[in-house]
Amino acid sequence: MGRVIAYMDDLFFQMKLAETAKHVGVEVKVATNAEALRTLLEPAPKLVVVDLNARGNPLEAIRELRQGHPELRIVAFLSHVQRDLAAQAHAAGCQEVMPRSALTQNLAAILGDAKD
């Protein structure tokens, strides 16, 4: 079973993520801050999903992830109007940044790519 970690504090979206993951057949663990995220990195996940609007400092968490796990797939999401934040996420090491609506629309496929 593939393993996915999410950094987010939006309970509604956590539920959507968990339900989709269950349907697709991947395990999801949620961290609401960078410290919790670090504790979930073993065993290494196939994917990390980051809400760029989460409390704490998700950009710093992305930088730490990229330094410690250069091969890890990181997908971040945000409001479609936050172009500066998207550029900052790319600069921090996030390969894929998309609006929340695009993530929601493609969530099953994105999670499916994390299957073993």
Given a contact cutoff of 8 angstroms between Cβ atoms, the answer to whether 43 and 3 are in contact is yes
Given a contact cutoff of 8 angstroms between Cβ atoms, the answer to whether 57 and 70 are in contact is no
Which of 9, 78, 74 has its CA nearest to residue 47? 74
Enumerate the β-bridge partners of residue 75: 49, 96
In a domain, 74, yes or no: yes
In a domain, 59, yes or no: yes
Mean pLDDT score across all residues of the chain: 94
In a domain, 86, yes or no: no
* pLDDT tens by residue, 4-58: 999 999 999 999 999 999 999 999 999 999 999 999 999 889 999 999 999 999 9
Which of 74, 5, 9, 11 has its CA nearest to residue 39? 5
In a domain, 97, yes or no: no
In a domain, 64, yes or no: yes
In a domain, 49, yes or no: yes
Task: Give the number of domains in the chain.
Answer: 1
In a domain, 56, yes or no: yes
Using CA atoms, how far apart are residues 17 and 19, in angstroms rounded to an integer?
Answer: 6
In a domain, 62, yes or no: yes
Domain extent, residue 49, equals 44-78
